């Protein structure tokens, strides 16, 4: 949120943002021996005004083809999301809509469907994941100009893991409340449930990563 505040006050230099983005790509390459298969921003900062342009330039420069555009079908009908959090999600959604043309001009792609805001943390359940996927696929196919013969791609944003114990973890200032909470383990336990795997099989959903696209 500090990054968003600084941007709104005009305190960010986009040349420095670009320099930081390139440094992160270079460090990733140094540590792994290859470029990342995709790239996005923590808490979706890559779709913010001004940032979206330098982010797209860096991806194009390095030949990174995939990113995330967090526009989730049916999100506004999720009554279990607190109003304050929904306001944040709506802001992310608006920024994402305004980013589509920028990413398209730079040849950047993203999955057909994004899911994850409505199923995050304590809100994750097999039922909610199934509902989110079914709703998103129905909306996507209804807008398709003709029957789809190609594969439809879906990004399911998840945070499985274990609670961080300060000062380890986080993004420079230690772990945030979510990283320290039981919700990380809850996501992990939900994602490995047999009934979720059975649902994937029934819907002919194949789990994959960005390198498989």
Confidence (pLDDT) at 173: 73
What is the pTM for the complete model shown?
0.89
Q: What is the arithmetic mean of pLDDT over 34-51?
A: 95
Please report the pLDDT score of residue 149 as a whole number. 66
The pLDDT tens digits of the residues spanning 70-127 come to 999 999 899 989 999 999 999 999 999 999 999 999 999 999 999 999 999 999 999 9
Q: What is the pLDDT at residue 40?
A: 96
Q: Could you tell me the two tokens for 49?
A: 């005004």
Once rounded to an integer, what is the mean pLDDT over residues 31-58? Answer: 96
Model confidence pLDDT, tens digit, residues 2-22:
899 999 999 999 999 999 999
Tens digits of residue pLDDT in 116-159: 999 999 999 999 999 999 999 999 988 876 655 678 999 999 99
Residue 154: which H helix or E strand, with range? strand 154-156
pLDDT of residue 180: 87
Rounded to the nearest 10 degrees, the angle between the axes of helix 14-32 and helix 51-62 is 40
In sequence order, the 6+-apart residues with CB closer than 8 A to the CB of 35 are 25, 28, 29, 62, 63, 64
Burial of 28 (0-12, 13-18, 19+ CB in 10 A): middle
């Amino acid at each position: 949120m500090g990054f968003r505040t600084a941007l709104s006050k005009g305190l960010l230099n986009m040349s420095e943002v670009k320099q930081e983005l390139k440094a992160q790509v270079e460090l990733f390459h140094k540590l792994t021996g290859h470029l990342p298969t995709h790239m996005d921003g923590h808490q979706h900062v890559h779709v913010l005004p001004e940032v979206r342009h330098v982010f797209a330039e860096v991806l194009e420069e390095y030949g990174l083809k995939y990113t995330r555009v967090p526009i989730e079908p049916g999100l506004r009908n999720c009554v279990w999301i607190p109003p304050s959090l929904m306001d944040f999600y709506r802001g992310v959604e608006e920024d994402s809509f305004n980013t589509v043309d920028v990413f398209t001009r730079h040849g950047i792609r993203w999955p057909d469907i994004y899911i994850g805001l409505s199923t995050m943390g304590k809100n994750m359940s097999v039922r909610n994941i199934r509902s989110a996927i079914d709703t998103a696929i129905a909306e996507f196919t209804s807008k398709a100009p003709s029957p789809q013969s190609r594969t439809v791609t879906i990004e399911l944003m998840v945070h499985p893991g274990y609670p961080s114990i300060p000062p380890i973890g986080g993004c420079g200032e230690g772990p945030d409340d979510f990283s320290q909470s039981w919700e990380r383990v809850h996501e992990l336990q939900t994602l490995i449930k047999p009934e979720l795997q059975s649902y994937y099989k029934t819907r002919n959903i194949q789990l994959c990563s960005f390198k498989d696209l």
